[in-house]
Structure 1
Amino acid sequence: MNITPTKLPGSLLFELPRFSDQRGFFQENFRAAAYQAAGITQPLLQDNWSRSVKGVLRGMHFQRTQPQGKLISVLRGEIFDVAVDIRPGSTSFGQWQGIVLSEHSAQQLWLPPGFAHGFLVLSDIADVLYKTSSYYNSADEGSFCWNDSDLAIAWPQQPTQLSAKDAAAPAFYQALA
């Protein structure tokens, strides 16, 4: 497995070995010891799976008092995955990164606790699987608008679908107040 640090401190891009032949491929998607050796010491407690159609934007979401680390994989399709550092006191607070993740790339993205997360679906359909380091708690959830001018996230295209909650999300600094 190849591990590459990303632009935001603590975030890692994993490239997994994939074995392909005329039948298809085999890939080991998770082995706790390998991620622990890479520095991910939090237990990964919950799996979430979303399926979305082209143009759907999900995000930008976070948990306020029980932040979740996320190990993100795309099982089907392609997404533009975005993370924003919301860790108080971080040298990269308010900075974002965008990475294309695809079923073809055999890559996973690790976001440590303290990042907001969202993604835009680029393919006709995308199945996104992410393991989290804490359980989802709707009472602890926060979000901010995907197109906040203070962040200036360079989405590759405009979304065509947002949830009502995401469409009504407050500005970045307002959401974190």
Structure 2
Amino acid sequence: MQLFKRLSDTRAVLTNKRTDSIGRRIFAIIVTAMVCIAGLGLKGAEIGFVLNWACGALFSWHLLFCQRKVEIDLGSTFITTTISSVYPIAKQKISIDSIKAFRVDKDIGRKNGYKLVIIFDETKAPYGFSFGSLSSMSLLASQLSAFCNKPLIEMSVP
């Protein structure tokens, strides 16, 4: 779940709920412990085991240090999403000026899931920005809509 945090009149960030972060870290520590224990038996191991161990080590590394940061800056008119681990992995900028509206849709890929969709003009497809429960996505959509001064399109069917 993303939490909207206003830093000033022109800047805001979306942060993860603390329990989400703690749960991911606990899972990462378990995976890291398993990788370390398996690493003790690498001496004389076959190449397939070593490759599997290396993939597990990389996965656990990213679980431990991966973070997603979303910044909304009305001054520069961009919503910037940065995903990083120990090094930057991806960065995406969405121009606030190109956003026509926000909308919450049912996510057909998830049983009880919903998604916050950013609507652009007719030439650009809508973009699924965030995923979660109906209440959390409705709250986030209304906060982003108010902060960015863009319309919020109501969902036709809950």
Range of TM-score over shorter length: under 0.3
TM-score, normalised on structure 1?
0.23
TM-score, normalised on structure 2?
0.25
The higher relative CO (CA closer than 8 Å, separation ≥ 6) is in: 1
* Larger helix proportion of the pair: 2
* Larger strand proportion of the pair: 1
